[in-house]
Amino acid sequence: MPGARSDSVWSASDTTPTEIEAAIRRLVVDRHHQNAGYVPARALNLVCVVDRDWSGEIANRLRRVGRYHASRTVVCAIDPPRTTLDAVASVASETEPKHGEFALLRETIVVTMGERHVRGLETIVRPLVVPDLTTVAWSPHDHPEALDELLGVAQSVLRDSIDDAEPREALVRSAELSQRAYVVDLAWLRTTPWRERVAAYFDPPEVRPLLRSISGVTVRHSPGSEVAALLTLGWFSSRLGWKPSPLMRTAGGQRGKATSRRQDVTVRLEEIPQAVPGMGGLTIETADGASFSLDRGPGGLHAKRRSRDGQERAWTVLGASRGEGGILGEGIRQALLRDPVYQPALRCAKAFAA
The CATH number covering residue 334 comes to 3.30.360.10
The HSE-up count of residue 205 (CA atoms within 13 Å, CB side) is 0
Q: What is the pTM of this model?
A: 0.90
Is 340 found in the same domain as 197? yes
Res 252: pLDDT: 76
In a domain, 164, yes or no: no
In a domain, 185, yes or no: no
Is 90 found in the same domain as 238? no
The C-alpha atoms of residue 128 and residue 162 are separated, in whole angstroms, by 30
Task: Kindly indicate the confidence band of residue 319, based on its pLDDT and cuts at 50, 70 and 90.
Answer: low
In a domain, 306, yes or no: yes
pLDDT of 4 > 70? The answer is: no
pLDDT of 168 > 50? The answer is: yes
In a domain, 138, yes or no: yes
Domain count for the chain: 2
Q: Alpha carbon of 151 to those of 71, 122, 123, 146, 316: distances in Å? A: 19, 8, 12, 9, 43
Task: Kindly indicate the confidence band of residue 174, based on its pLDDT and cuts at 50, 70 and 90.
Answer: very high
In a domain, 162, yes or no: no
pLDDT of 21 > 60? The answer is: yes
Is 318 found in the same domain as 205? yes
Task: Kindly indicate the confidence band of residue 283, based on its pLDDT and cuts at 50, 70 and 90.
Answer: very high
Mean pLDDT of all residues in 318-332: 77
Q: Contact 64/37 with Cβ under 8 angstroms? A: no
Res 3: pLDDT: 38
Is 145 found in the same domain as 213? no
End-to-end CA distance of the chain: 57
Strands 253-259 and 264-271: antiparallel
The C-alpha atoms of residue 187 and residue 207 are separated, in whole angstroms, by 29
Which tens digit of pLDDT belongs to each residue from 206-255?
Answer: 999 999 999 999 999 999 999 999 999 999 999 999 999 999 998 878 99
- Picking from 107, 137, 154, the residue at the C-terminal end of a domain is 154
Q: Which of 347, 343, 353 has its CA nearest to residue 182? A: 343
**Mean pLDDT, the chain, integer:** 92
∠ CA 223-57-144, nearest 5°, is 70
H-state helical runs in 179-288 = 186-189, 192-201, 226-240
In a domain, 180, yes or no: no
Local structure of residue 272 (DSSP, 8 states)? -
Q: Alpha carbon of 99 to those of 38, 40, 102, 335: distances in Å? A: 11, 17, 8, 34
Q: Which of 195, 242, 232 has its CA nearest to residue 346? A: 232
Is 333 found in the same domain as 243? yes
Res 1: pLDDT: 29
- Picking from 100, 132, 154, the residue at the C-terminal end of a domain is 154
Which tens digit of pLDDT belongs to each residue from 77-133?
Answer: 999 999 999 999 999 988 888 888 999 999 999 999 999 999 999 999 999 999 999
H-state helical runs in the chain = 17-34, 55-63, 121-125, 144-150, 167-178, 186-189, 192-201, 226-240, 323-334, 342-353
In a domain, 172, yes or no: no
Is 218 found in the same domain as 96? no
Res 113: pLDDT: 97
Is 218 found in the same domain as 75? no
Find the domain containing 273 and state its range.
Answer: 192-353
